[in-house]
Amino acid sequence: MSIKLYGIKACDTMKKARVWLDENGVAYDFHDYKVKGADKAELEKWVAEHGWEKVLNKAGTTFRKLPDEAKADIDDAKAIALMMEQPSMIKRPVLDLGNGTTVLGFKPEIYQAALRS
């Protein structure tokens, strides 16, 4: 199983997830959106699995600073376009377990359960 962790290196939640994975001996590849950008196919997969409402981080500063018209009438396509343009709007971390399942955000108990299955 090839595990990939997506996010932004400087994010505090990302740091917690990386420390947890390292301490639990979980091998993973890290994809930093600030360095490598966001992949449209990955975003489409995550939105199909979780819905754009959970993948798009509306609580973050980047989203809140958008003009009102950019925040209006969001659907899958618009959410993906926003996240492609500004990857910091993607909920993080995203843990891709390599088996078609992704975990959004970080909670140790959820990571433990997901990696056990």
> Are 37 and 73 within 8 A, CB to CB?
no
Q: Catalytic residue numbers?
A: 11
> Are 93 and 106 within 8 A, CB to CB?
yes
Q: How, if at all, do strands 29-32 and 102-104 pair?
A: unpaired
